[in-house]
Structure 1
Amino acid sequence: MKENSIITGFHAHIYYQPETRSVAAKIREELGARFEVQLGRWHDQPIGPHPQSMYQVAFSQNQFPQVVPWLMLNSQGLDILVHPETGDDLTDHTAHALWLGNRLELNINFLARIKSNAS
């Protein structure tokens, strides 16, 4: 069994379409105002394993009980991936993933290449 101590933090990926970017912006603004989070850059095109436009929100373990329930209640129809940071990007984005909304098809080959290059 794995211990929680291997989790160094969490990421939430907030996905949006051109027509929902303003909704994503409101969620981003509220996240930054309410919680101790690190807001990543906007990616208006798919990047890495992510099949849609998105931005990332990084937060610590102690922020999880505040951030994730807030996202559950305030996702406004957007799809959100929440995953731990354990040092294994492939597993974190797949087996350890928590989805709010629809589960999107990630580019797993991208993550698998990173994992094999790190080995």
Structure 2
Amino acid sequence: MAADRLTTMTFASIYPMYVQKVERKDHTTAELHQVITWLTGYDDAGIAAAVADGRTLAEFFDRAPALNPNATLITGVICGYRVEDIADPLHQKVRWMDKLVDEVARGKKMSSILRA
């Protein structure tokens, strides 16, 4: 995915896909919110506001209350990209979020997902 495309894509456009992915694998929106909160610091109201106001992914991460310092511990491949090797900061943050959502959907233990 091109970095230019990421700057204009909205959080509201990918959030429903995240919900579908975790629910299709018998997991909950609460689990999804838990990993988004861990990564970004947004609470449920903040996530809802980000969906409602149509902020771009760049704005979503720029306005994040507190990006988790342990996010750099997220490693592996998602969508063909090794997340720890991505140079563009926005692209890396989006792929971190994708990786966390994927781990929820696969049923990985929450303590492992949250790098505890």
* Fold-level similarity (TM above 0.5): no
Taking structure 1 as the reference length, what is the TM-score of the superposition?
0.32
Higher strand share: 1
Which structure is larger by alpha-carbon Rg, 1 or 2? 1
Higher helix share: 2
